[in-house]
């Protein structure tokens, strides 16, 4: 008996699970961006504490929406997740050292983004090869 059917089923389940995770994380970032665009708390006070003004809050909101859309584009999903790992690392540090907020949520979203980036690493490699001219 071969293990190929099991591997195919396992791979298919992992692929579907990653898609579900991508949709959920994209939703989280869209909701987060809406808070930034409307100036809802704690977003407004956090960015005020950073000291870069409303333009930076809006820029991060735009990046979150763009990244959320990219999470739903197969070629870009891994790269978007990797970018979100960096964004959430900065968010966790900002919460911990600037605004004194709750760091658990950014760390959870960072971990979920890392899972997506790892699961879509082959796509990231293909995209990097194409962008760098090594394809």
Angle CA 101–61–84, to nearest 5: 75
pLDDT at 1: 45
Task: Give CA–CA dist 92/109, Å, rounded.
Answer: 10
Average pLDDT per consecutive 10 residues, the chain (135 residues; last block may be shorter): 62 93 98 93 85 91 97 96 97 90 93 97 90 80
Q: Is 135 exposed, middle or buried (0-12, 13-18, 19+ CB in 10 A)?
A: exposed
What radius of gyration, in Å, describes the C-alpha atoms of the chain?
17
Q: What is the DSSP letter of 73?
A: S
């Amino acid at each position: 008996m071969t293990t190929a059917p099991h591997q195919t089923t396992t791979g298919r389940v992992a692929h579907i699970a990653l898609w579900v995770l991508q949709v959920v994380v994209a939703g989280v970032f869209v909701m987060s961006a809406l808070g930034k665009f409307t100036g809802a708390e704690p977003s407004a006070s956090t960015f005020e504490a950073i000291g870069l003004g409303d333009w930076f809050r809006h820029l991060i909101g735009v990046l979150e929406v763009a990244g959320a859309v990219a999470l739903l584009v197969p070629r870009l999903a891994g790269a978007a997740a990797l970018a979100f790992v960096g964004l959430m690392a900065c968010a966790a540090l900002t919460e911990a050292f600037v605004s004194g907020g709750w760091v658990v949520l950014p760390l959870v979203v960072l971990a979920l983004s890392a899972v997506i980036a790892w699961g879509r690493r082959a796509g990231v490699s293909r995209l990097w090869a194409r962008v760098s001219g090594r394809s």
